[in-house]
Amino acid sequence: MEAATIAQWAFFNEVPIPQDVSNILVPGEQPYAAFATTRDSAIFTSQRLIVRDAQGITGRKVEIYSLPYKNINMWSTENAGTIDMTAEVELWTRAGHIKISLGRHIDVRRIDALIANCVLNSH
């Protein structure tokens, strides 16, 4: 039985870690890497994946998704092929299934290593 997809995101390229992310980190939490999304950014930290989604015409309204690594049960990565130009990451969580498309300038194996390091060190 296929799990329902609860979220679908696209990461386009690696970007510097946004300075204002420190406002939402807990004591001891460290940001590792950030990626541009459609309207904002996704940040891998030592404890979770944070996806910020700016909304509306001005982008002043921001929804923040926070996925603690301890809630990821399984993940898969698929590199880009000849015809399919985007790599993909899939996360199975307690809440449901999440799909992430990666831009062609993102190394899918770097994402795989980030997830592995964070998930396996959080359980």
* Three-class DSSP category at 100: strand
- The 10s digit of each residue's pLDDT in 43-71 is 999 999 999 988 777 767 888 899 999 99
With 90 as the cut, is the pLDDT of residue 74 above it? yes
Domain segments of the chain: what residues? 5-122
Which CATH fold would you assign to the domain 5-122? PH-domain like (2.30.29)
Rounded mean pLDDT, 75-82: 82
Among left, alpha and beta (phi > 0; psi -120 to 50; other), residue 10 is beta
Element containing residue 90 per DSSP (H, E): strand 87-93
Q: What is the pTM of this model?
A: 0.86
User: Which of 56, 60, 64, 57 has the alpha carbon at shortest distance from 7?
Assistant: 64
| Paired strand residues for 93 | 72
